[in-house]
Amino acid sequence: MNAPLVATALAPAKLNTTLRVLGRRADGFHELDTSMVCIGPCDVVEARLRPAPPRPAHDLVVRLALEGSAATDDVRAAPQNLAERAARAYVEALERRTGLCVDFALELDLVKNVPSRAGLGGASSDAAAALLVVRDLVLVHSGQVLAWADCLDELAELGSDTVFFAAARFTGRGRATGRGERVEVLSRTGVERERGRFALVVPDVGCSTPSVYAAFALGSGPAAVGALAASSFANDLVDAARAVEPVLDEWFEALGPRFDLSGSGSALFARATDADDAAELVDQARRAAERLGRTPRWCGVTTECGHGVRLVRAPRRSSGGRP
């Protein structure tokens, strides 16, 4: 049997530097206006394509292996990982459009470094990275490929943030509207000579995105929305996240006014003015954790990585591969 084709991509985390919730839509989602930047840490997605007897795309064999410091129980317990769903969605879409012969199986190795349930977009980034590597592997194997715009449509069906990580793959910046699936790709301006630097703290609790939005909806009348938009936070979900995980109140009080929430939480971050400021903010966060008697899942300085999902090893034949 031929050696498998192998490709690898990076899947960065993200921060919502602003997040405004403009109201609830008829489909149950919320209308958003959010600015995002990609940051480290990054997950790593390696995919292998092995020849296999032909079968319909819906019967595609995808084997998933998880490892890494953030491969926690909640990630492992998910009935189907979003990266696996993205791989399947791509192959099924390509079969529908081109009649692709699915004479292969896929293996995905996912190294999780981005904490889950933190508002950092780890699962969405993994999905975009998985689609990127599978797209390239199938192209080399079969000569067939799905147009990039169609890839973004497939990602939009999987989740809101997935489109951002793929659309902003060359800049790592964007503004998302709708439920998050409409992305305007942004670049650094001429006056921004350095990439943004942040202090990032991921508390020892996680936030369920559906629960946070449900909590927001309970108080989402026009007056409440206006009050949140006028608050000192750039994220309208702060109060809802605090309601879902009250321990965030302690973190906000201990960290001080420069820290804000990313996404639906629980990650907290502060933009630093320079390297010294970033180091002081992280020291401040570590002292706060000690006072609270808590151990954050992640605490350190991070910077914009300047890219969304990125191919770091193009498809090639593996010399060995896993048995």
The answer to whether 116 is a known ligand-binding residue is: yes
- Is 123 annotated among the ligand-binding residues? yes
35 is in an annotated binding site: no
- 124 annotated ligand-binding residue: yes
Q: Catalytic positions, please?
A: 14, 161
Q: Determine if residue 118 is labeled as part of a ligand binding site.
A: yes
Q: What's the 3-state SS for 289-312? A: HHHHCCCCCEEEEEEECCCCCEEE
The reply to whether 294 sits in an annotated binding site is no
Q: Is 115 annotated as a binding residue?
A: yes
Closest of 255, 157, 273, 145 to residue 201, by C-alpha: 255
If you search the block for the tokens 């800049």, which residue do you land on? 171
d(CA 39, CA 260): 16
Does the annotation flag 231 for ligand binding? no
Q: Is residue 119 a known part of a binding site?
A: yes
Residue appearing with tokens 């007897």? 53
For 159, other C-beta atoms within 10 Å of its C-beta total 21
75: β partners: none
**Do 203 and 294 contact (CB within 8 A), yes or no?**
yes
Q: Which residues contact 176 (CB under 8 A, 6 or more apart)?
A: 32, 33, 34, 35, 36, 160, 161, 163, 164, 182, 183, 184
Return binding residues for ATP. Answer: 115-125
